Amino acid sequence: MSSPSPLNPLTERQLNICTYGGALGLFLTLTCLIQHLVVTKSHWITHIMTSLYLFTMMAFLLLALLRFFAPYVLIITAVFAIGMQYIWMRESAFSLTVLLLFLYHVILLVGLFTEQIPQKLKEKRRVEKAEEDLWMGKL
């Protein structure tokens, strides 16, 4: 396992959690979106749910790209995921994939915050910003 470098304070384990966690979440959300498009009828609620799935996919992509605000966007999308599960159950339907999406959100967020990844991503952004400022007028 490699140690963090000055320009990247994340360890290899933390990088793997972000990249693979984001990719798996992206594919799980894509599965939910495909299921949603196949099963549901055209209604204003289903159009809103489609946009929420796309927003959730964006949040997982941001995590895979190591953006410092991605964990906080994932908290918002976890609330959306439980809301979407509620909508499915209110309509007397059950979606295991949407339930798995919510549970995956919870597990990933617990892993991110116990590994202190949000702080490391903020530190990474601060170092990148300092590097940009250093080279701003020199090129």
Q: What is the pLDDT of residues 82-97, one digit of tens each?
A: 998 998 888 878 889 9
Angstrom distance (rounded) from CA 63 to CA 98: 20
The pLDDT, as a whole number, for residue 39 is 87
Return the percentage of the chain with pLDDT > 90, whole number.
63
Tokens found for residue 39 = 């099963």
Q: Lowest mean pLDDT of 3-7, 9-13, 26-30, name the range.
A: 3-7
- Give one DSSP letter per residue of 48-106, joined into a string: HHHHHHHHHHHHHHHHHTT-TTHHHHHHHHHHHHHHHHHHHHHTT---HHHHHHHHHHH
**How many alpha carbons fall within 13 Å on the CB side of residue 26?**
15
The single-letter DSSP state of residue 9 is -
Cβ-Cβ contacts under 8 Å for 9 (sequence gap 6 or more): 120, 123, 124, 127
- The model's pTM is 0.87
